[in-house]
Amino acid sequence: MIPTLRKLIYAGVTEERDPESSLRIQLANISALLAISSNILYSILFYSYDSLGKFLIPAINTPFAFILSYAIYLNHKHYYTTSRVLILSCIPLVVFLTTYLFYGNLLGAHYNFLLIALLPFLVLSYKHKYLILAYFLLNLFLYTYIGFLHEPPYLTPESPFFDFRVRESFQISSVASCFLILAAVLFYFLRNTERNQQEIKRTNLYKERIFSILAHDLKGPIGSMGTFLSILLESWKKYSAEEITNSLKELQKNANQSYVVLENLLEWVKNDTKRYHFIPERVGLEQLLQNSLELFSVIALEKKIHWDIKVAKEHIAFVDERMMASIFRNLLSNAIKFSPIGGKVEIESKDLGHQTEISFLNEGKPIPLFVQEAIMNRHPIKSEFGTMGERGTGIGLLVSYELLLVQSGEFWIESREGYGTKMILRLPKGS
């Protein structure tokens, strides 16, 4: 019941729409649902009384209920303007017809016009201000006309609605329903306002993190590359071949680091905007790993990293090759970063039947438990410097975990003093 109701409320809401227009669509759907419920309830109540409206009022209410249902369907099909026209016209019209013909102000239904007068404020934007004002004044006029000036042609002296208890019960129900509907709409509006505020806070933090990464983790390496190139271009004849080679290696290291940082940043943005393009295929882990290792050859040589690789060529996973390459680069970067100079990094794969496992073990200091929990809960972490002062962004492992979840993979960390840190991936097997 609740999932169905939620689908009806969110009919027509898409990711492309901004929060304000999405909220107006939701409120339009809620208004239509409340009007349909009210039509059904009033039809049942009038049918229970032996009066002229016993069959006529349900006969009037039923077509309008179908039209309002169709308005929700139109929102679902993205015909938003037509849907709003139907909602804004049908809701007051059905109230006017029943009060005008059958019971006037006797049962308090004319109070609904005061509630309906507020409807365009919820479903229309400020650019329709004159239409909102006209609609508001029209409903105030209808309330005044039905409440004080009009006598229904089909309201006879013998009508049960003249009974004090019947009349009072209907009036109390009308007023109570108006306040309940108003409270429900205001509560829903308040809830969405709170959500939007939280989203704004999250977006601001997100932007600050991106600007911080751009300012510190990309600006430095790219700036140093420019300096190196300027020196080489201006004074390359003064340097020996060995010095030039070392400078080029430093350039390569900075370029590779900048590439990994930029790739993580782009993947993080894609994840936040839900714009991943997942294209799974059979991927050989051994070849993918070798391609990724080439990117870190300079820094690994600089830190004298010893590789212990036990990844079989026959170990195949059914994954997105681009995503897995990004994951491998992040895990390799992390392993090198926290490995001591002259340390060993072990990479091993296993066939688990329906899954393929690959693990990355380094001898560096263990990852604190609260950091592991932050990663598994998909929260950005504060980056720490590596054993040679390497900087990081704090989003590499987070991006890897997100990419792994997209591919129906599993990920966990084993880390303790004297053992190091082991990061384990389990991937769908490429049969």
For the cut 60, the answer to whether the pLDDT of residue 217 exceeds it is no
For the cut 60, the answer to whether the pLDDT of residue 29 exceeds it is yes
Q: Residue by residue, what is the 3-state secondary structure of the chain? A: CHHHHHHHHCCCCCCCCCHHHHHHHHHHHHHHHHHHHHHHHHHHHHHCCCCCHHHHHHHHHHHHHHHHHHHHHHHHCCCHHHHHHHHHHHHHHHHHHHHHHHHCCCCCHHHHHHHHCCHHHHHCCHHHHHHHHHHHHHHHHHHHHHHHHCCCCCCCCCCHHHCHHHHHHHHHHHHHHHHHHHHHHHHHHHHHHHHHHHHHHHHHHHHHHHHHHHHHHHHHHHHHHHHHHHHHHHHHHHCCHHHHHHHHHHHHHHHHHHHHHHHHHHHHHHHHCCCCCCCCEEEEHHHHHHHHHHCCHHHHHHCCCEEEEECCCCCEEEECHHHHHHHHHHHHHHHHHHCCCCCEEEEEEEECCCEEEEEEEECCCCCCHHHHHHHHCCCCCCCCCCCCCCCCCCCHHHHHHHHHHHCCCEEEEEEECCCEEEEEEEEEECC
- Domain 258-428: CATH superfamily is Histidine kinase-like ATPase, C-terminal domain (3.30.565.10)
Q: Residue 130's pLDDT is what?
A: 95
Q: Residue 418's pLDDT is what?
A: 81
Domain locations in the chain as residue ranges: 2-202, 258-428
The model's pLDDT over 34-57, given as tens digits with 9 standing for 90+, comes to 999 988 887 887 777 656 556 788
Indicate the pLDDT class of residue 429, thresholds 50, 70 and 90: confident
The model's pLDDT over 95-149, given as tens digits with 9 standing for 90+, comes to 999 889 888 888 888 899 999 999 999 899 899 999 999 999 999 999 999 988 8
Question: Which of 3-12, 84-93, 234-243, 373-382 has the largest mean confidence?
Answer: 84-93
The model's pLDDT over 334-390, given as tens digits with 9 standing for 90+, comes to 888 888 888 899 999 999 888 999 999 998 888 888 888 888 887 767 767 777 767
Average pLDDT, the chain: 82
For the cut 80, the answer to whether the pLDDT of residue 223 exceeds it is no
Q: Residue 136's pLDDT is what?
A: 96
Between 209 and 87, whose confidence is greater? 87
